[in-house]
């Protein structure tokens, strides 16, 4: 992690991250909706980029797949922007499966490695898998707060990491 060398800049960035984390945790529905809208915008941009690639060289089958990919991105992005709350419900289920899968992969990594951080990887895998299973098992009732709360917790950990990371010497 790259951190600012200036203590004042480091503390300023950490305070901003803590404020953003607090807002995301205090207003999880708002932060989840804003994240979902952002994902919709990114999907639309990706769809446009895929469609612009159709003008380049390539065979018919690759252009067909790019066309289908671009239309899927555009359709998903427009749907997400048109129905952000409904999209949050789907996104929460996706994040639950993603966390469960990541947790299992971390557990497999811990089992296969003999490194000094094996214990931390094992704990990370257990916690991540449990979070994923909790999201899946409580879905869809947790959909309107979970993403925003998890985002806020992630921001808080980033702030702590920023304050505790060693400063690289020039």
Per residue in 57-114, pLDDT tens?
778 888 898 899 999 999 999 999 999 988 989 888 888 898 899 889 988 888 887 8
Residue 137 is assigned to a structural domain of this protein: yes
Identify each DSSP E strand in 79-142 by its residue range.
none
- Residue 31 inside a domain? The answer is yes
The angle subtended at Cα 111 by Cα 110 and Cα 116, nearest 5°, is 45
pLDDT at 49 over 90: yes
What pTM was estimated for this model as a whole? Answer: 0.71
Task: State the total domains in the chain.
Answer: 1
Q: Could you tell me if residue 169 is inside a domain?
A: no
2 in any annotated domain: no
Please check whether residue 61 lies inside any domain of the structure: yes
The whole-angstrom distance between residue 22's C-alpha and the CA centroid of its chain comes to: 18
Give dist(CA 21, CA 147) in Å, integer.
Answer: 12
More confident residue, 88 or 168: 88
Peptide bond before residue 13 is cis, with ω within 30 degrees of 0: no
Is 78 contained in some domain?
A: yes
**Is 170 contained in some domain?**
no
Has residue 1 been placed in a domain?
Answer: no
Give CA torsion, residues 143, 84, 90, 133, to 10 deg.
-30
Which range marks the domain in which residue 53 is found? 7-164
């Amino acid at each position: 992690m790259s951190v600012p060398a200036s203590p004042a800049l480091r503390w300023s960035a950490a305070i901003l991250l803590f404020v953003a984390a607090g807002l995301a945790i205090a207003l999880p529905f708002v932060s989840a909706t804003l994240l979902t809208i952002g994902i919709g915008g990114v999907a639309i941009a990706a769809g446009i980029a895929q469609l612009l690639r159709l003008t380049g060289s390539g065979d018919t089958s690759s252009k067909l797949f790019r066309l289908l990919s671009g239309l899927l991105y555009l359709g998903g992005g427009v749907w997400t922007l048109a129905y952000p709350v409904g999209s949050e419900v789907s996104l929460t289920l996706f994040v639950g499966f993603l966390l469960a899968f990541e947790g299992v992969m971390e557990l497999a990594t811990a089992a296969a490695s003999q490194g000094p951080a094996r214990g931390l990887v094992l704990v990370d895998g257990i916690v991540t898998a449990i979070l994923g299973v909790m999201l899946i098992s409580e879905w869809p009732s947790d959909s309107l707060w979970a993403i925003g709360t998890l985002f806020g917790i992630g921001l808080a950990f980033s702030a702590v990491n920023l304050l505790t990371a060693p400063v690289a010497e020039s």
